Amino acid sequence: MTPAEAVVLTVLGAVNLDLTARVTALPAAGETVGGGSLSREPGGKGANQAVAAARLGARVRLVGAVGADGEGASMVSNLDAAGVDTSALQRVDEPTGTALIVVDDEGENSIVVCPGANGRIDPRRLQEERPDALLAQLEVDLRLVADLAQRTSGLVALNLSPVMPLDDGLRQRVDLFIVNEGEYAKVPYLATAPLVAVTLGGDGALLRRDGVVIARARADASTVVNTVGAGDAFAAALTVAMLRGIDDAAALQLACNVGAAAVADERSQPLLQPLEAYLGI
């Protein structure tokens, strides 16, 4: 297995302030739910995945943007503390991205994202980026994802969330797609993609190569506190495991183990242990 310090991963994605209201039950349309508790936490799919990968032991560089405001400074400080290289994180004249999240007693959630600075990443400042490996999502401009993917020399992993059409160039450059079962159902070409990881919630996950299931992993029982960061932790863990040379089946099970640890943590950026702690569980 490749040593952790040898894995160098660039993450491209959103950095948000998560404003989370915890309530007994999610409100229906037009309904007001009282008795909630409010928290302010670091989030955003890019930041969540970068922090998870760093805590799992990889060397991580985050590409994205925050506002030149107090929230942006706080997000950068949190990323630095987690061991993420923030030197490619742009400060722009736009409020730091914000996610409005409601979480119920079962850990289920509803989210509204206000992208703010995430929509103002300057592509001219990314021309020198030449990643060894890339993990991206689609909460930032799709053109940035496509451009950086083409300049990546090694593995390109794409968490296809939120689902949107991809051009042929980006679709063909992605080595690993990561989706949940709902996203998988919405994207027909994933049925024949070279490698696709599909999360199945409490039923674990599966890995498809050219449409054929090559690995399945269980999801161990876990106390569900918050599902917001679980998919991001899974994506980071699977990407890091594959970069470290762990075989497909073991990498998929490890990612499920990390996801189970994530849902038991109330944070969107759970306090994960190094990768080895989740092997063979």
Q: Could you give the residue numbers annotated as active site?
A: 232
Distance CA 154, CA 89 (A): 22
Give the pair of three-digit tokens for residue 121. 């990443």
Question: 211: how many CB neighbours lie within 10 A of its CB?
Answer: 11
Give the pair of three-digit tokens for residue 277. 């702690």
Buried b (16+ CB within 10 A) or exposed e, 94-121: bbbbbbebbbbeebebeeebebbbbebb
Query: In terms of Cα–Cα distance, which of 220, 172, 174 is closest to 12?
Result: 174
Q: Pairing between strand 8-12 and 16-22?
A: unpaired
Exposed, middle or buried by CB within 10 Å (0-12, 13-18, 19+), for 248?
A: middle
